[in-house]
Amino acid sequence: MARLVVISNRVADPRKPAAGGLAVALGESLQQTGGLWFGWSGTIVEDGPTGEGEMHRQQAGKVTLATLDLSREDHDAYYLGYSNKVLWPVFHNRLDLANFDAGFIGGYRRVNQLFARKLLPLLQPDDIIWVHDYHLIPLAAELRAMGCKQKIGFFLHIPLPPQIILAAIPQHEWLMRSLFAYDVVGFQAQQDVQHFDRYVSNEAHGESLGHDRFRAWGQTVRASAFPIGIDVDEFLALTHAKEARDMHETMKREYSQRRLLLGIDRLDYSKGIPQRARAFRELLARYPENHRSATLIQIASPTREDVDAYGDIRRELESLCGAINGDYGELDWMPVRYIHRTVARKRVPGLCRAAAVGLVTPLRDGMNLVAKEYVAAQDPADPGVLVLSRFAGAAEQLKEALLVNPYDTHGTAETIQQALHMPLEERRARHQKLLARIREQDVHWWRRTFLEALRDAPGVE
Ligand code: GDG
């Protein structure tokens, strides 16, 4: 079988437990087939010569990890700048948070060119190349310009916004044209494919050829939805391991007279955490029966703290949680437990299993793996209820969750109340269907279907 080469911004040792959807899913893929994982080392070289990265190589079981250092200037423009101040906010429909500083694009291009230049000599003729996420959209175009003929696939982990929003990015045409250098472009959800389709016909004056094939700028690409999943068996094993069971028992003991609601997210403005806290506040205001009982545990793991918008969301959430506790708390009950730290992965399933309601309410999300992990961790005999934002990619698959519009505080509060009162039979029936879907389209299915599509693609003429 052809060797798999994965390229992503960050590289993680697949043998170590990693926090973050991308790292977890890619680790799964590479361990199965073996191969090369290429990306940024995480090291920033102060005052280094611009654009020239030192390469590190390391063997991790069947996987070779090859990573590059970045100069401060490149890192700031490529990663902090274009990736996280332009692409992340715009792709999550947040034009108000975008910063279209003209200095960012040069760094983004430079790093993509550097990646291509350093990767090219490591490639073998029949490698299958799989590029991940918004940091590396132009990588295939750079590789092709250097003569690379191998099959190259791209998977976008975040949503593709509607044409009218995408068009706000000054370089939108260049970005979208870059996607046509790939053989296969994978999105999380059908809605992303629709946005791609509309962009191609309305903005690029291209056409849909049917069967997920699109033609524009004289090139053809396949673009389909490949919803990412979790490793259900691994997550179940984690759920039944000692750390998770201990966690579950501790929570059950401590909250024996209470109902737990749980949110676990990176502290990102796309995740709708303040909106969730407001809905919880409304629940307490409208239904006093929940006083001294309903407790929201919100784990918000620190992320991208050197981008301003992330400091703002942190302050907003802290003051909101403080106000809810101040207004509703009692000496023996605090309604919100807000934890601004990463919890150990081994404990996550125990927390999920103890929660009567899982709150996954992003304003926009490519997929959202926490929704799937929450379902997998439940006791099938007495499962909790998933409250899921209709704006998460996962909502296309997880139809038996209670779907909410997270902007609608009142409606979300009502749905949380409904979740808290759902009869056992209904909870079991919904859980069974959700788990079956999560099992059917798990992370192995995702990898297999994407790589099959890439192998079957016609390739460079
Ligand atoms: C991107 C897209 C897409 C979170 N907090 C802690 C922790 N986590 C783990 C979760 C889950 C992962 O991180 C988060 O995955 P998500 O899918 O929710 O979100 P993003 O990080 O934004 O990922 C997303 C994903 O890529 C995959 O394609 O689904 O839409 O935005 O596994 O459990 N893990 C630990 N402690 C924490 O505090 N250990």
Question: What confidence tens digit (pLDDT) does each residue in 373-391 have?
Answer: 999 999 999 999 999 999 9
Q: How far apart are CA 18 and CA 71, in angstroms?
A: 25
Active site residue 157: yes
CA of 19 to the centre of ligand 1 (A): 7
- CA–centroid distance, 126 to ligand 1, in Å, is 32
Q: At what angle do helices 273-286 and 308-328 cross, to 10 degrees?
A: 10
Whether the Cβ atoms of residue 33 and residue 1 lie closer than 8 Å to each other: yes
The domain ranges of the chain are 4-229+443-456, 232-440
Maximal CA-CA distance, the chain: 72
**Hey, what amino acid is at 180?**
F
DSSP 286-304: H-GGGTTTEEEEEEEE---
The CATH number given to 4-229+443-456 is 3.40.50.2000
Return the residue whose CA atom lies nearest to atom 28 of ligand 1: 157
Span 330-362, pLDDT tens digits: 999 999 999 999 999 899 999 999 999 999 999
pLDDT at 62: 85
Q: So what's the pLDDT on residue 23?
A: 64
* Per-residue pLDDT reduced to its tens digit, 271-301: 999 999 999 999 999 999 999 999 999 999 9
In this prediction the pTM is: 0.96
Q: Average pLDDT for residues 8-29, to the nearest whole number?
A: 69
Give nearest CA residue, ligand 1 atom 20. 21
CA 129 – CA 251 distance, rounded (Å): 44
User: Quick check: 251 and 293 in contact, CB under 8 A?
Assistant: no
User: Is residue 53's pLDDT more than 80?
Assistant: no
User: How far from 197 is each of 192, 251, 397, 415, CA to CA, in Å?
Assistant: 9, 47, 21, 34
Residue nearest to atom 35 of ligand 1 (CA): 345
Residue whose CA is at the smallest distance from ligand 1 atom 25? 21
pLDDT confidence band for 460 (50 / 70 / 90): low
- Report the sign of the C-alpha dihedral through residues 438, 439, 443, 447, in that order: negative
Q: Write the DSSP symbol of residue 203.
A: I
Instruction: Return d(Cα 129, Cα 107) in angstroms, integer.
Output: 23
Which range (219-228, 320-329, 450-459) has the least confidence?
450-459
User: 88, 304, 369, 447: which to mutate for ligand 1, most atoms within 8 A of CB?
Assistant: 369
Q: What's residue 427's pLDDT?
A: 98
CA distances from 452 to 130, 371, 388, 430, 440 (A): 12, 26, 30, 31, 17
> CA 383, CA 403: separation in Å to the nearest integer?
17
Query: What pLDDT does 52 receive?
Result: 65
CATH 3.30.460.80: does it fit domain 232-440?
A: no
Task: Please give the Cα distance from 450 to 23 (Å, whole number).
Answer: 17
Whether the pLDDT of residue 35 is over 50: the answer is yes
Per-residue pLDDT tens digits for 162-181: 999 999 999 999 999 999 99
Q: What is the tens place of the pLDDT at every residue in 188-221?
A: 999 999 999 999 999 999 999 999 999 999 999 9
Mean predicted confidence (pLDDT) in 7-22: 72
User: What pLDDT, on a 0 to 100 scale, did the predictor assign at position 25?
Assistant: 63
Supply the angle between the helices 21-33 and 443-456 in degrees, to the nearest 10.
60
Q: Of these residues, 75, 92, 132, 157, which one is catalytic? A: 157
**Residue 259 confidence (pLDDT) above 90:** yes
- Cα separation of 151 and 113, whole Å? 18
CA of 367 to the centre of ligand 1 (A): 9
- Each residue's pLDDT tens digit, 402-429: 999 999 999 999 999 999 999 999 999 9
Euclidean distance between the first and the last CA atom of the chain, given in angstroms as a whole number = 22
Residues across the chain:
461
Mutate to test the pocket of ligand 1, among 266, 271, 338, 442 (most ligand atoms within 8 A of CB): 266
CA distance 358 to 379: 13
- Please report the pLDDT score of residue 123 as a whole number: 96
* Protein residues with CB under 6 Å of any ligand 1 atom: 19-22, 24-25, 157-158, 228, 264, 266, 299, 301, 342-345, 348, 365-370, 373
Residue 211 gets the label, from left (phi > 0), alpha (psi -120 to 50) or beta, of left
Confidence of residue 19 (pLDDT cuts 50, 70, 90): very low
Distance CA 8, CA 66 (A): 11
pLDDT tier for residue 28 given thresholds of 50, 70 and 90:
low
Q: What angle do CA 316, 86, 133 make, to 5 degrees?
A: 105
The letter for the amino acid at 172 is: H
Which DSSP letter does residue 167 get?
Answer: T
Q: Do domains 4-229+443-456 and 232-440 have the same CATH topology?
A: yes
User: Which residue, judged by its Cα, is nearest atom 10 of ligand 1?
Assistant: 370
Within 8 A by CB and 6+ apart from 285, the residues are none
Q: Is the pLDDT of residue 40 over 50?
A: yes
Evaluated on CA atoms 67, 47, 142, 26, the torsion sign reads positive
Phi, psi of 39 (to 5 degrees): 180, -165
Out of 69, 74, 365, 442, pick the active-site residue. 365
Strand pairing category for 357-360 and 385-389: parallel
Distance 83 CA to ligand 1 centre (A): 18
pLDDT for residue 18 is more than 60: no
Residue among 231, 241, 233 nearest 27 (CA): 231
Q: Which two tokens stand for residue 281?
A: 């506040």
